[in-house]
Amino acid sequence: MQKKQLARAALMTFVAAALLGVGYVAGTHRSAMGGESALAATPSSDKIDPKTGRKVLYWHDPMVPNQHFDKPGKSPFMNMQLEPVYADEGGSSGIKIDPGLQQNLGIRYATVRRQETTEGFDAVGTTQFDESKADVVQSRVTGYIDHLYASAPMQHVTKGAPIASLFVPDWLAPQEEYLALKRGGMDDGMLAASRARMRAMSIPDGVIASLDRTGKAQTHITLSAPETGVLTELNVRDGAMVSPGQTLAKISGLNRLWLVVEVPEALALQVRPGMSVDAVFAGDPAQHFTGHIREILPGISTSSRTLQARLEIDNADFRLTPGMLMRARIGAAKKVSRLLVPSEAVITTGKRSVVIVKNSDGRLQPVSVTVGNDAGDDTEVSSGLTEGQQVVASGQFLIDSEASLKSVLPKLEATAPTGASAPAATPAAAAPQTYETTGKVEQVTAGDITFSHQPVPALGWGAMTMAFGKSSPTAFPDVKPGQTVHFVFRQSSDGYQLTKVEPVGGAK
C-alpha cells in the first residue's frame, strides 16, 4: 500500500513538471514569435510623454517610418528604441527648420499679394525715322545744279537752310517778254496774262515780284530745307541736269521717331493697336519713352519669326537716334487683378513650376503652381497659391532643377511626419542610391534576412542587428545563418531591400 502511494506521488510530480515545461516552451515561443504584434496591438491608456508632457500620436522606427506602434519599446527591425511622434508635429506636412539654421541659410520670406496690373509682355524694338513726317525737295522745272550746298546723305540741316542752287534757262524768255510789255505801256490785261504764263512755268511769286521791283530777269533759284532734320537722301551732284518732278533730296525729322517692336510669333494674337508701350534704352535706363501701338504690320518675319508693331515716340530733346535697340514693355489698355509672387521665389524645373510655401505651423512645403506673365520683378500665379500666404524668396535656398528638387528636398512633398532621426532616412529616399556593409547572417526567412552588421557611415548607422527585406521568397537561396557576408541594400517604400548578398571572400 505504501509502495502504491509512493508511485502515485512520483507520477503526479512528473506530470506537473511536464506541464510546467510545456507552458514555458509555449510562452517562450509566443513571446519570440508574437512580440511584434503584441507591441503594435497593445493599446496605451496614457499617450502623454512623461519627459516632455506632450501628447504622443504613436511611436515609430525612423528607419521604417510607415510602421506605427501604440506604445514605446524596442524596434523589431533593428537594435534601437522606438521614437515618439507628437500631436503638435505629426499632422503637418513638409519639414521644420530650426530658426538658427534658417538665418544661416539666408532664408527670406515674401507674401503672396493681389495687385492691379496691366497684362503685358516684354519685347525688343528698334528706333526708325518717322517716314510719315519726311519731306522731299523736288524740281518743278528743267534746269541744272549750279551749286550744291548739301555735301552728303545723313547730314543735319535746319529749316530754311539752302540745299541746292538751280539754273533755269527757260525762265529767261517769259521774264524778258513781261518786261517788254511793261515798258511798252500795255494795258493791265496783257500784263496779267504774262504773269499767269510765268506762274504756269513754275516761276515763284517772289521772282515775279522782284521782276516788278528791280526790272531784271532772274534765272537762278535756291531750293531750301522745309523742316529741320537729317538729309536721308541726296540724289544729285554739282552740274547735274534735273527734270520736273525729280526728287533732289529727302529730309526726315528727329523730333518724333518710330519704334518698331518685334513681337514673338507665340504672342502675335495678344498684341493689338492701342496697347501701351514703355520703352527704355540700355544706355539710360532711367529715361522712359512711352506711347501706344499705332498699327500692326502684316506678315511674320521668316528669319526671326516675329510680328512687327509700330508706334510713335517723342524725341523732342533729340536724345534718341534711329537704329537704337530698346527694351519695350507692352501692356494692355485696362488693368486686371492678378496674384503676384517675387520671380525669384518660383523654381522652374523644366517639368513644372514650384514655390516653397511656409505653412501656419512654420513648416516648409513645396507647392506646384501655374505661372503666367512677368510683371517687372514679380511673376503672376494663376493657380496653386492664395493671397496672404508666405513663400520662400531667398535665392540661397531655392533649387533650380527637377533633379535638385528630388535629391535635396525628397521629404517635403510627403505627408508622413518627420521625427528627430528623420534626416537619416532622407538620403535613401532620394532615388535608387545603394549602401553596403558587412555582417553575420542571424536568421533567414521567406520575407527577409537578419544581419548583425557593421556600421554604415553614409546613413549614420552604428553596428546593429537589423532585418532587410528580400525581393522575393526565393531570392538569395545560398545564404545560410552563421555566414559572414557582404551585402548591398537600398531604401524603398517598404523599408530597406537587399539587392546583393555574397559571402566574404567569394566562398559558397
Cell digits of residue 260: 518698331
Judged against a pLDDT cut of 80, whether residue 166 lies above it is answered with yes
- Which has the higher per-residue pLDDT, 319 or 52? 319
The mean pLDDT of 465-481, rounded to a whole number, is 88
Mean pLDDT, residues 420-425 taken together: 39
* Helix (H), strand (E) at residue 195: helix 188-200
Q: What is the mean pLDDT of residues 336-361?
A: 84
* Lookup: cell for 402: 527637377
What is the rounded distance in angstroms from the CA atom of residue 264 to the CA atom of residue 269? 10
Kindly report, residue by residue over 107-131, the tens digit of the pLDDT.
888 999 998 777 678 899 999 998 8
For 108-122, b where at least 16 C-beta lie within 10 A, e where not — what string?
Answer: ebbebeeeebbbbbe
Angle made by CA atoms 385, 386, 389, in degrees to the nearest 5: 90
- Residue 459 corresponds to which cell in the numbers above? 546613413
Pairing mode, strands 495-503 and 484-492: antiparallel
Q: Which domains does the chain have, with CATH numbers?
A: 2-90 (no CATH), 99-120+337-408 (2.40.420.20), 131-252 (2.40.50.100), 426-506 (2.40.50.320)
d(CA 343, CA 350): 16
- How do the residues of the chain divide into helix, strand and coil, expressed in percent and rounded to 5? 25, 40, 35
Q: Which of 391, 396, 390, 395 is nearest to 354 (CA)?
A: 391
> What is the pLDDT at residue 20?
44
367 alpha-carbon distance from chain centroid: 16
Per-residue pLDDT band at 27 (split at 50, 70, 90): very low
What is the pLDDT averaged over residues 407-416? 43
The answer to whether residues 170 and 142 touch, using CB atoms and an 8 Å cutoff, is: yes
Q: What is the DSSP secondary structure assignment for residue 158, as one 8-state letter?
A: -
Three-state SS letters, 254-306? CCEEEEEEEEEHHHCCCCCCCCEEEEEECCEEEEEEEEEEEEEEEEECCCCCE
d(CA 288, CA 313): 10
End-to-end C-alpha distance for the chain, whole angstroms: 66
The helix or strand, by DSSP H or E, that contains position 216, with its residue range, turns out to be none
Of the CA atoms within 13 Å of residue 304, those in its CB half-sphere come to 12
pLDDT at 66: 63
Higher pLDDT, 460 or 310: 310
Picking from 289, 232, 282, the residue whose alpha carbon sits closest to that of residue 259 is 289
242 SS3 class: strand
Between 389 and 99, residue with greater pLDDT: 389
pLDDT in the model for residue 287? 87
According to DSSP H, which parts of 358-464 are helical?
402-408
Question: 278-305, pLDDT tens digit by residue?
Answer: 999 888 888 889 999 999 999 898 888 9
Q: What is the mean pLDDT of the chain?
A: 78
Cell numbers representing residue 383 in the block:
493657380
